[in-house]
Amino acid sequence: MSIAGRFSRLVTSPIKHHIYLSRSHDVAVNLSIEHYLFQKSHPASTILILYVNKPCVVIGTNQNPWFEVNHALIRRNTVDSSPRHDGSLATIQNSIKVLRRRSGGGTVFHDLGNVNFSVIFPLPDRVINYKHAEMVVRAIRKTNPRARVNHRHDIVLDPGPLLKKNNWPDPEDTHRTAYAFGNGELEPRKISGSAGKASGQRGLHHGTCLLASPNLPSISEYLRSPAAPYLFTKATPSVPSPVANIISPDTPSPTTSILQHQIINAFIQMYKIDITNIPLPQESTTALTSNENCASGTLDSSLLEIPEIRSGHDELQSPEWLYEQKREFALSSHPPNADPRLRPPLPNWFPPSARVHLVIKTGLITSSTISLSSDPAIAASEAESIDAVIKNTRIIKVDSFRKPLGGNIFFEGEEQQRDIYRVGAWLDWILLGHSINL
């Protein structure tokens, strides 16, 4: 029987505990395997799956990709592809995927120095997120004793000096450390964000572990959208936090494989799993084994043979899934009455009298008000002419807004053509991630 066939049988069996390690570094493959486990596994089972992804940005299911992601930077695609354990500064050109996962929470950046964990478990259990974050902290503390769980179920490092010994907490306390923290330079550094979902009898808690990301200095740039100040949306926003790697100059330097096995051991100890005659997953080979109490194995992209995993994988990679969710939002160059927030200064080449206001739902422009003139009557006529051209346009089908705007016969003069072309260039930058090229 193929690995895919054996995996399907194991997942639905009443075996109580499962431990899986994915050899794939494709985020769409790994999230689809995870979702299959969530949907198909036996309702009484508890499952741990670990994986490491190539560079990618993953937004939450209730988030707006234009609000969360710097698409212009993503399009340039220059990242370091491998964890920097040896101090190497080599930078390699790579394609960065942007995907929407099926759980809530904020936007995260993955790369090959980042270990991802996911635990799928029976409901109800109202403290499960704390429980599994605590489990991961116990594993991380093998490398860095500064790790703890905060009030958001995230894992942070306390960066301050060692406290006096009489202030040290119980070593088993995963919510406190023996190190100081506070504001400013002593603000805790996030090393793991997490999210979850629940459906029927199953719950899922998954998160990241920044072990040795070579892209740490640039993560915030990828997750800082230049469009955000111009967008009015009720989508869930990310909560920015200062981040750090688990590895520091004064800690050991385990590989991602070592951290994965430390998390596996913490999972085994927490659930008191009998692993007699069950070899733990090894990244070097794809295999599945089991006894009456535990299934264990290493997985890979061959699981795409399973129709549900293949369809989930294809959906995650589709632009429709990423960009055409139902939440409505508005894009405005200047503050409308409904959104009086101050905007950052527009580029100096943006026409000073121009105004842009788009309403977008399910990735479709449902209405637009775009004009150049400072005269209200003329501006209204301009907006009506443009709305007739771009209303009901699907953004994922647009190569450039310069073409439909610049081709509008309402703008005949050379100066008007130049200005409407520049408005189109601004929309290309905000919505399509194009570089500015006037």
What is the model's pLDDT at position 364? 96
Contacts of residue 266, Cβ cutoff 8 Å, sequence gap at least 6: 135, 136, 138, 139
What pLDDT was estimated at residue 28? 97
SS3 state of residue 387: helix
Tell me the C-alpha distance between 156 and 103, whole Å: 21
CA separation for the pair 309, 356 (Å, rounded): 42
Q: Is residue 86 over pLDDT 50?
A: no
pLDDT tens digit sequence for 415-437 = 888 999 999 999 999 999 988 77
What number is the average pLDDT over the span 170-176?
A: 94
Q: Which of 355, 413, 347, 421 is nearest to 382 (CA)?
A: 355
Tokens 């299959």 belong to residue? 36
The residue with greater pLDDT, 101 or 276, is 101
Tell me the per-residue pLDDT of 332-354, one tens digit each, with 9 for 90 and over.
Answer: 999 888 788 888 899 999 999 99
Report whether 404 contacts 411 (CB < 8 A). Answer: no
83-87, 194-198, 318-322: which has the minimum mean pLDDT?
A: 83-87
CA angle 92, 97, 101 (to 5 degrees): 145
Taking the C-alpha atoms of residue 319 and residue 358, their distance in angstroms, rounded to an integer, is 20
8-46 pLDDT, tens digit per residue, is 999 999 999 999 999 999 999 999 999 999 999 999 999
Residue 94 banded pLDDT, cuts 50, 70, 90: low
Is the per-residue pLDDT at 99 higher than 90?
yes
Helices (H) and strands (E) in the chain, counts: 12, 19
CA distance 278 to 15: 13
**CA pair distance 280, 77, nearest whole angstrom:** 36
pLDDT tier, 93 (very low <50, low <70, confident <90, very high otherwise): very low
- C-alpha–C-alpha distance, residues 44 and 202, integer Å: 9
CB atoms within 10 A of CB 8: 19
Better-scored residue on pLDDT, 337 or 304 = 304
**Cis peptide leading into 124, omega within 30 of 0?**
yes
- Interval 121-136: pLDDT, tens: 998 765 566 799 999 9
Read off the pLDDT of each residue in 177-189 and give the average, rounded to a whole number. 92
370 by Cβ neighbours in 10 Å (0-12 / 13-18 / 19+) ranks as: buried
What pLDDT score was predicted for residue 77?
A: 67
Looking at the chain, the whole-number percentage of residues with pLDDT higher than 90 is 72
DSSP 434: P
What pLDDT, on the 0 to 100 scale, is given for residue 81?
52
Q: What pLDDT score does 410 carry?
A: 66
pLDDT of residue 87: 39
Of the listed ranges 225-229, 253-257, 406-410, the least confidently predicted one is 406-410
pLDDT at 384: 94
Query: Residue 73 — φ and ψ, nearest 5°?
Result: -70, -40
Q: What pLDDT score does 89 carry?
A: 36
Instruction: State residue 90's pLDDT score.
Output: 40
Mean confidence (pLDDT) of the chain: 90
User: Quick one: which of 58, 320, 33 has its CA closest to 208?
Assistant: 58
